[in-house]
Chain A
């Protein structure tokens, strides 16, 4: 029994799909953010997997960058969500559509 690239890819594909599903179906903006985190994690897993099973450390370096970007994104997005909540008393993303016009 051994674990190789296909298994890791499988895991990452499932994470990606579930993350996208979350992003599409949830109304709560914070839940959408959680979906984004899942998608990002799927990508990071791929980077690390290819770094381990390919050659070179670059994948993991990019993984570190990815984590940093995710952190920055989460902070700003949550600040926006809080602000939206303050303004509309709701975090229902399907109602935050005033920028439509």
Chain B
């Protein structure tokens, strides 16, 4: 990524992402946190696009921005009374958090700045090679992931359906 415009775009998107992440981390307001997450994920999609990782950018938009953040928003709405949204994300043990933050950030940044600048490989479309890899060398992980998705689906349905403790209250499971 050379040139002024991509570089500026990168820093703009990086700023958006970091600001979003900071919003998630610091805001005490659940809905604000959720929208900050949305901004951070969106910034990530932009960075993927800048990196010419077209499939990843699209997947990020579809799955993260379109799917997971909406899901999170739903969860926020379903788990908190509308009146309490402002106060239901209390912070807790900020010292421990800060300790972790620094303990992770300092070595990670130390590593990051020792990286060589690196040479970007040519910007070919990635969809076809990824598809080939998925059905070629990575076909076993691919199949395993499909089983995992199925398990997650069934598990989520089963969890969300809930159970009742009172045996009299479940006529559907009686009579066998």
Contacts and interface: CB of A to CB of B under 8 A. Distances in A.
A binds B: yes
Contacts of B89: 26-28, 31
A52 B51 contact: yes
Interface string B29-41: 0100110010011
Contacts of A35: 24-25
B21, B48, B53 — most chain A CB neighbours (10 Å): B21
Contacts of B67: 71
Contacts of A53: 118-121
Contacts of A83: 159-160, 162
B33 to A, nearest CB: 6
B148 A69 contact: yes
A34 B44 contact: no
B112 A10 contact: yes
Contacts of A16: 104-105, 108
A19 B118 CA distance: 26
A8 B164 CA distance: 49
Interface string A1-16: 1111111111111111
A60 B25 contact: no
Contacts of B105: 13-14, 16-17
Given A52-B53, A75-B152, A5 B116 contact: yes
Interface of A: 1-22, 24-31, 33-35, 37-38, 41, 44-45, 48-49, 51-55, 57-58, 60-61, 63-65, 67-76, 78-83, 85-86, 91-92, 94
Interface of B: 1-4, 6-7, 10, 14, 17-18, 21-22, 24-25, 30, 33-34, 37, 40-41, 44, 47-48, 50-53, 55-56, 59-60, 63-64, 67-68, 71-72, 74-76, 78-80, 88-94, 96-98, 100-102, 104-105, 108-109, 111-121, 126, 129-130, 133-134, 138, 141, 145, 148-149, 151-153, 155-157, 159-160, 162
16 contacts: A5-B116, A5-B117, A6-B115, A11-B18, A13-B105, A17-B105, A22-B24, A22-B25, A28-B88, A34-B37, A60-B56, A60-B130, A72-B148, A72-B152, A75-B153, A78-B156
Given A1-B7, A18-B101, A75-B153, 6 more contacts: A7-B10, A13-B105, A45-B47, A64-B59, A82-B78, A83-B159
